[in-house]
Structure 1
Amino acid sequence: MGNSVVVVLSERKRLRQLRDQLAAMTPPPLRLLAIGTGEEPVEAVPELNPKLSRQLRQRSMARWLLPFGFLAGLTFTFITDLDTFAFAGPVGSHLIGGLLGLGSGFMGSFAAAASVSSELDDRVRALRNRLEEGNWLLLVEIASGLEMPWATLQSAKPKALVRLNDF
């Protein structure tokens, strides 16, 4: 993951010129993504789509919470020695407890992903509003450790430059 900046431009012509200038740099940016009418839709960009970010966060959390939930449910049935699921036998009872823990971990991944609000929400909302006003966005991502080409970005006379992450 590199450093990301979104450039807000009022004209599509400037967007294309800036994209071409940045693509010709050595080394080129890791990612140059034009967003707006006739370009990439904003819904396809995880950095600018809170719903998509939340889904990715939920999947990531589920990867951790599902196995731990299963082990917690299994452990709970061994520790408490309750016969809640006695009809399933001793092994089945513990297995059902583990599966219930797994389900709890799955539900917890949704709750945890929804409760985390990104610090970028306000910046992303402002960028989406700029798109609705008829502007175009250029997402520029450079490798970590490299300097962002600020002079080139400023030469396109952008309406705004928004950092998506700290340098």
Structure 2
Amino acid sequence: MPVCVLVLKERTAAETLVQDLQESGKPLIRVVLVAPEQAEGNEAGRLKAEQIDQVDLLNPSMARSRRQRSMSRWLMPFGFMAGLTFTQITTLDTFARFGAVGEALIGGLLGMGSGLMGSYAAAASVPSDNEDGVRILRNRHNEQFWLLLLETPAGLEVPWQLVQKVRPQQVVRLSEL
């Protein structure tokens, strides 16, 4: 899904834009307003402001955790099968006291544990496509700017004429998800 984040000076600009987008009938999958640190929870408005660490697209640790879970779904079963196979094709009798089935099962469990460890290592070493954009947005957040995340359905662009009316400080397009 196409995602863009607008950097705005004021909350009123964000609320005006969201209202204009709703009146224009353009479908939006997600609209998230992120308040600056000093202003969080202080101002009332129609849009509920969230903290930056609660928005999954703007939190690198949440993205890394999501990658790790995704990788573990296929690395753990592969590791189990590899451990089971390794135990069967070698002549090592490390766990012979548990019998042939127990030895193979322990080998499979050790392989599954290796797959889990591999998912953590791989998730930590692979950078996200949005890493540079997220770093820019987190810096603007620290500079006390409001962030408005807009996610549109696949194939639809944000109406840029409406966006330009609120005069955003910066527009950061995150790669399509």
The TM-score with structure 2 as length reference comes to 0.89
The AA in structure 2 aligned to 1:163 is R
Q: Residues 128-149 of structure 1, C-alpha deviation per residue, up to 9 Å, x if partnerless? A: 1111111101101111111321
Secondary structure of residue in 2 paired with 1:118: coil
> In the aligned structure 1, how far is the partner of 2:64 from the partner of 2:24?
34
The AA in structure 2 aligned to 1:46 is D
Q: How far apart are 1:119 and its partner, in Å?
A: 3.2
The AA in structure 1 aligned to 2:103 is S
Q: How far apart are 1:166 and its partner, in Å?
A: 5.1
Aligned equivalent of 1:29: 28
The AA in structure 2 aligned to 1:83 is D
Match runs of 1:1-167 below 5 Å? 2-36=1-35, 37-38=40-41, 39-165=49-175
Q: How far apart are 1:121 and its partner, in Å?
A: 1.5
> In the aligned structure 1, how far is the partner of 2:24 from the partner of 2:34?
20
Q: Give me the CA root mean square deviation.
A: 1.4
The AA in structure 2 aligned to 1:15 is A
Number of residue pairs matched? 166
Secondary structure of residue in 1 paired with 2:93: coil
The AA in structure 1 aligned to 2:87 is T
Q: How far apart are 1:28 and its partner, in Å?
A: 2.1
User: Greater shift after overlay, 39-48 or 92-101?
Assistant: 39-48
Contact (CA 8 Å) 1:4, 1:139: kept in 2 or not? yes
> In the aligned structure 2, how far is the partner of 1:95 from the partner of 1:49?
39
Q: How far apart are 1:42 and its partner, in Å?
A: 0.8
Secondary structure of residue in 2 paired with 1:24: helix
The TM-score with structure 1 as length reference comes to 0.94
Tell me which stretches of 4 or more aligned residues in structure 1 moved more than 6 Å: none
> In the aligned structure 1, how far is the partner of 2:152 from the partner of 2:129?
21
Contact (CA 8 Å) 1:23, 1:32: kept in 2 or not? no
Contact (CA 8 Å) 2:129, 2:175: kept in 1 or not? no
